[in-house]
Chain A
Amino acid sequence: MKHTCFRLIVVASSLAAGIVECRPHYGGTLRVEMRTIIRDLSPADWPAAPVESASKDRLMKLVFERLVELDDAGTPQPGLAFTWTQDPDGLGWRFYLRPNVRFHDGSELTPASGVESLAGTLRGCEVMAGDGSVLIRTPQPRPDLPLELASTRHSIWRRAPDGRLAGTGPFRTSGCSSGPCLQLVANADCWRGRPFLDGVSIQMGRSLRDQMLDLELGKAEIVEVAPDAVRLAAQRGARIWRSMPNVLVALLLDAARPSTQDRRLREAVALAMDRSSVHNVLLQNQGEITCAVLPQWMSGFAFLHPPAQNLDRARQLVASLASPVPPLTLACDSSDPLAQLIADRIALDAHEVGITIHTSTLRSGADVSLVQLPTPGPRPDVALVEMVRALGLNDEKLPAPPAGLRAVQAAESLLLGDYRIIPLFHLPALYASSTRVRSWNTRGLAVDGTWRFEDLWLESEEN
């Protein structure tokens, strides 16, 4: 595992003859496709589903910026605020706004506009405009406030006179011609510099199969790709982009159902899983096998929970149950053939230890769910809290960010010991891109899977 954490995201998988350009070229529209549909970029409205929430997060980062940004190490870095200070009493924070920053509608970023954005999202806090700064007073000391302000939910935005949302990011929104899509246009006045691309066209609601077809037909430059299709996509000449593992694939056992009340049964299910076969074959070795909620690159202690299939122990646990094990229902995403295959394999593994699992595509009434949950990185303390909340599990014993690794590790161990959640894999965000899409000294994909389209450019087609 040495060094793997710091391997960068963009990995070339093939050579395309005839490409002669090396330096970034300006111009062109990047066509991107995705499965989820995000109809509204308003920071005030967030989808409940974690996958959609993560998709919206990615889109918003192309349009909006925050006072504070997190670097790849999860350390708060200056964003629209070039610096910040905390009052001696620990309750007041002052974020100094970067001068000469303009919204997409041409208006200037002012403390008032910062207050307008944050007043709706920072609940329980008093947000005021200062001299070139935004003042935030919290009821209790909030050492994590810069961390929290780095969240996309606290993006700085304003409603332009034409009704559109205006941010300060590298792209501004434009109209969409047809279907669920999002048109972005380069922000020529971006304070970080104009993106190389003229625009980004994001088509939503496209199945993985259609996305791959569109990539091959030259109708899209960047598409999502399933782990089991990575090798094929690479063989067909696409470049594969992967983030650090940022999606947790896990079994979630419904605590409310009597069939999964017995902890021994839940542990038996966990011990029956043959993760390595699924990882090697179904996932084509993409991502990591895990028994931890947080990925190793994020926490550093995922190895404390080594995956171990122990069929004998699982059978003992099943035999020790007072009553016969009733058949369990495992729900998985009906639109994801890979998830269904994984679910089938899980059922097969469970069958080996005497647990009958029927797979289903209906969530309601299921005893067990195969879930895919984004791991919002890179801070482990923040990620654990958000993931537990997204799963609907008890978050009372979780340490509030910012928390030390020791507390996070203890909380995660406690969580895993209950076997309500059985982590299986950590998967990266995977994209197949046309060879026309280029990036060089920056990454087109952040470690947590965030898009950095502002640093991409397109080779001209005649090349």
Chain B
Amino acid sequence: MRFRTRLAALVALAVSVTVTLVTLAVSTLARRTFERLDEQRTATSMAQFRREFERSAEDVARRVESVSQEDIVTRIAVELSRPQPDYSTYLHEAGMLARSHGLELLELMDQDGRLISSAEWPARFGYKAATPGAGTARAFLTEKELPEQTVLALVAIREMSVGGKRLYITGGRSLGSSFLASLTLPPDLHVLLYSDFTSLVTPEGASPRLPELDPLIERVRSDGVEATDRIRSGDVDETVHAIPLFGRDGKMLAVFLVTSAHHELARLVRDIGLAGAVVGGIGVLLGALLSAWMAAWVTRPVERLAVGAREIGHGQWDAKVDISRKDEIGELADAFNKMTARLRDQRDRLVQAERVAAWRELARRLAHELKNPLFPLQITVENMRRAKESAPAEFDEVFDEGARTLLAELSDLKAVIARFSDFAKMPHPRPETTDLHELAGKTLKLFEAQMAGGRINAVTDFDPSLRTMRCDTGLIGRALQNLILNAIDAMPSGGTLTVRTRREGEVVRLDVADTGAGLSKEECARLFTPYYTSKPHGTGLGLAIVQSVVSDHGGRVSVESAPGAGTTFRIELPVQGPPQEGTAERNDSP
């Protein structure tokens, strides 16, 4: 992970943790506050329900009273007082009275409990039931049987008496869905009714029983007093207040439940969480941007330093980091620039030293190369002088002999000088499309006789995917000749010479391996030094020429060898040929 990334991540993490902690703290505080408010609100709602219930009871009683004052009711009462009353015409009266007086339930009943007219169950006319008892000033709760179900109802009873016969008017409203829906409640507060302890009525209608409420219901039924419980409904906690509702005879008929669903709290927590997430997200984003900017601000000089170091590494000794800050980074850049300056000085000195060494080596080689022929020249000349002085008769013969020797040695001197001259005059490569395998084959053929004499077995291992490449055929052939010659020289007792090609992407690899005695590490290190040779009569320019050719083609040459394991020279060349500029290194080379 890059330093800049790591730095940005650390900053973002710090921001996120901070935001999360703040959100949790706010959420907790809000929850506690809300719970306090919720308790207050529930208490208010309970009081409101009781007021609403009382108001409904008064309303029912008032409406039933107004029904009892209707003319038609009086007429029914008068009809009842007749010896053989005819109820049949009053069948629909209860329904009409109920509608006109806004009552859901209304029944007219004679003193024997015979139903004259029923709004809620018209078909029940004529049925005899228990007389409803004395009229009441207040409404009360009771259970009313309807065609499909028994409902809890808030009813009031009025009694009329005409001619000694009584008419009962029982009217009210069911405590069902509509009643619950009529209660004005704050949001998140819900009311439920366990009308017969088995079925649940909600403002929306009948609902399946909730098993989680059973313990609370049972507690209220057994204790007969209000109770509160907290249940889990889905993802939300609910506080449930249960109020037992009693009928006129004191029998508990239903349990009224007020549930505070804590949706607000959940919503608040969710909102805070959401806000925290949003703020956190924004914080993280800003943090990331900030950290990126900071990291960039911090790391950009470092990166420049790194670039500078890399340039230095690549040999660009004049690389300089331009940082004009006054802080530690500026000091670091300044130190870097000073360091590179010192390195340049040292390099220059080193190059100069190396040049001196090279010249020394050259001088040594020249001295060595020149000294060898000079010594016979000296001997020959001395022999000729001595012969002239000591044996003039033989002088001619000696002279002839000495002249031939001198000419031979001078020829050797010219050859030495020519080789050095050739190396100095290495031409620039002229790339052309070349079949490397054909070139390698032809080159091997040049040494066929020599290898046969030396019991050397030549093996080729060509990559069939490599067909042609761009290179200077002559130069590469010359380099190959030098390597093959080296390999032959390395196997005086015979062996196997292997020429191998491989294509690796845009690079062609050419290996020339022998099974000779191999080289030591030190020999390998010095192998490509010009004029270095391990052979008794080598000039030390063969591998230097190979390196020069390969370098001019934009490639590189390497050696793998170990004592007793043979030696493999490896040339790596670009398939597309040498780059346009490629002479710098050679020029720089000593």
Contact = CB atoms under 8 A, between A and B. Distances in A.
Q: Is A in direct contact with B (CB under 8 Å) within the complex?
A: yes
Interface of A: 228, 231, 274, 277, 280-282, 284-285, 341-342, 344-345, 347-348
Interface stretch (B85-93, B168-176, B338-346): B85-93
Query: Interface of chain A, helix or strand or loop or mixed?
Result: helix
B123 interface: yes
Contacts of A282: 91, 125
Given A277-B126, A281-B126, A347 B147 contact: yes
Interface string B107-138: 00000000000000111111100000000000
Interface in B126-160: 126-127, 147
A291 to B, nearest CB: 20
A164 to B, nearest CB: 45
Contact of B89 (A231, A277, A342, A345): A231
Interface residues of B, number: 13
A277 B125 contact: yes
A342 B126 CA distance: 13
A45 to B, nearest CB: 39
A348 B124 contact: yes
Contact of A341 (B88, B89, B123): B123
Given A341-B122, A347-B147, A281 B87 contact: yes
30 contacts: A228-B91, A228-B92, A231-B89, A274-B126, A277-B125, A277-B126, A280-B88, A280-B126, A281-B87, A281-B91, A281-B126, A282-B91, A282-B125, A284-B88, A284-B89, A285-B88, A341-B122, A341-B123, A342-B123, A344-B121, A344-B122, A344-B123, A345-B123, A345-B124, A345-B125, A347-B123, A347-B147, A348-B123, A348-B124, A348-B147
A281 B125 contact: yes
A281 B147 contact: no
B124 A281 contact: no
A27 B217 CA distance: 78
Contacts of B123: 341-342, 344-345, 347-348
A173 B124 CA distance: 47
B166 to A, nearest CB: 21
A280 B86 CA distance: 9
Interface string B412-455: 00000000000000000000000000000000000000000000
* Residue among B87, B89, B126 with the highest chain A CB neighbour number at 10 A: B126
A274 B122 CA distance: 15
A375 to B, nearest CB: 24
A342 B125 CA distance: 11
Nearest to B123: A344
Interface string B202-237: 000000000000000000000000000000000000
A285 B91 CA distance: 13
A277 B147 CA distance: 18
Nearest to A285: B88
A281 to B, nearest CB: 4
B127 A281 contact: no
Given A281-B126, A284-B89, 16 more contacts: A228-B91, A277-B125, A280-B88, A281-B87, A281-B88, A282-B91, A341-B122, A341-B123, A342-B123, A344-B123, A344-B147, A345-B124, A345-B125, A347-B123, A348-B127, A348-B147
Interface string B60-99: 0000000000000000000000000001110110000000
Contacts of A344: 121-123, 147
A80 B88 CA distance: 47
Nearest to B148: A358
A342 B91 CA distance: 12
A222 B126 CA distance: 33
Contacts of A281: 87-88, 91, 125-126
